[in-house]
Structure 1
Amino acid sequence: MAQIERLSSYRALTLVLVVASIARTLVRELAEMDWTRVRLGGGYARIDGAVYSTYLVVIDEVAEAEEDDFLRIFSHHPVHSPEARRWLQQWVRPEEGAMQDVKELEGYDEMLQKLLDSLPVERQLAGLAPEERLAGLPPAHQLLALSDDALRGFTDEYLRSLPAEVQDAIRRRIGRPSR
């Protein structure tokens, strides 16, 4: 408020709305306000009809258009570069003496999941005990974690006792046709 006198008019103020993606709620609210979204390309848009100059930035679209892996961290797209992954790892680690625990920030779980999804499977599973790696999977699906050599030791009779999707996956991996 202390700087409001510096503005020549309310038109001198520009607002920017940054969203991950265009949600139905945003579309509905723009319509209710009788505002119009004018696409500028590459994930940017101008909102016409508001009192202030208003622009919209859609992170999902900008991250892809500009091939910006750091911006992808905040989008619904996977992160590819090791540099962006390292940056994300630094920020999701709780730091001693931090004013707010990063784990309490909105979107923390989604960002952490994005980091995990960007890692190779071997890194995702590193440090987990075998029972932790398979936790939550039905017993028949746990068999898919075995090596192909171990799966080749199963008899056809045993394979036929498994759910069809597990049986098919095992047969494809070991090159054994159904009988």
Structure 2
Amino acid sequence: MGVLVKLADVLGVRPGDLVRLVTYGGLYETAHLDDLPAPGDLTLVLVVASVTPTLREDLARKGWTLSPLGGGYARIDGPMYDTYLAITDEVTEAERDDYLRLFSHRSALPGEAARWLKQWMRDTRMKQPDIEELPGYEEMFQKLVEAMPVEKRLAGLAPEQRLAGLAPEQRLAGLAPEQVILALPVEVLRMLSEEHLHSLPADVRETIKKRLRGIAH
């Protein structure tokens, strides 16, 4: 029995991917006539991240139908070969498959699969320097970044780089009131009353004094 599997682009199904898979099936059967004597000896599988409008258009164009089987799998009725669909967004959740997550819209999780992806990207870059130009590279790289611990993502970044793109309220989120005061510009700190300064914790008052002395010098 032969099985042909086609993995669609992580970004989505391209027009004609399903028809292309069935065409591959015909070419494969032609080359293996003696090995595939019965109609059911060849099975086709299209692996996609999700069922997109493009895929539905391909099905409608050919008059084929999709029959869900559960767990992220479906049967495609209509082609001359037994044809199935594997939807990675759903299968990875149903089967807790961290490797399959790499080929879905789900974020990669820290662990063995993320380490494999890192090694694969390193080895592929050595063999193929222009790997960055390949479709889906940015998405795979982003998955690798998301799987890294936060401290590693931020390592080497200047404070302004860490805060770039954040709204003011996001920069201050989670800070205690006295910490928010320390984030104020020096010009605003100079406007604080002595009464208010004395109400602050001693370490906060000392930091404010140092900042004000720094400006004075």
Instruction: Give the Cα–Cα distance (whole angstroms) in 2 for the partners of residues 8 and 95 of structure 1.
Output: 39
Of residues 129, 134, 144, the one that matches 2:172 is 144
Mapped contact 1:92–1:108 kept (Cα < 8 A): no
1:38–1:48 CA contact under 8 A, matched in 2: yes
Cα distance change of structure 1 residues 35 and 100 upon mapping to structure 2, 3 Å threshold: farther
- Among residues 15, 18, 28, which one is paired with 2:44 in the alignment? 15
Task: Name the % identity.
Answer: 52
Higher relative contact order (CA 8 A, sep 6+): 2
- Could you give the per-residue CA deviations for residues 148-168 of structure 1, whole angstroms, max 9, x where no partner exists? 56423357xx6xxxxxxxxxx
1:112 alignment partner AA: F
Look up the match of 1:70. 99
Q: How many residues align?
A: 157
- The equivalent residue for 1:50 is 79
Distance 1:32 1:80 in 2: 38
Q: CA RMSD, aligned part only?
A: 3.0
Shift of the 25–58 alpha-carbon distance from structure 1 to 2, 3 Å rule, reads same
Matched, 1:82 2:111: yes
Residue in 2 that maps onto 1:103:
132
Given the two structures, how large is their TM-score scaled by the length of structure 2? 0.61
Letter of the 1:111 counterpart: M
Q: 2-side partners of 1:129 and 1:145: how far apart?
A: 19
SS in 1 for 2:127: coil
Q: Which aligned runs of 4 or more in structure 1 are off by greater than 6 angstroms? A: none
**C-alpha displacement at 1:130, in angstroms?**
2.6
Task: List alignment gaps of at least 5 residues for structure 2.
Answer: 1-29, 189-217
Deviation sequence 1:38-83 (CA, Å, 0-9, x none) = 1111111111111111111111111010001111111111222411
Q: Residue 201 of structure 2 corresponds to which residue in structure 1?
A: none
TM-score by length of 1: 0.72
8 Å CA contact retained: 1:91, 1:102: no
Structure 1: unaligned runs, 5 residues or longer: 159-179
Given candidates 118, 121, 137, the residue that maps to 2:150 is 121
Alpha carbons 1:59, 1:74 under 8 Å: kept: yes
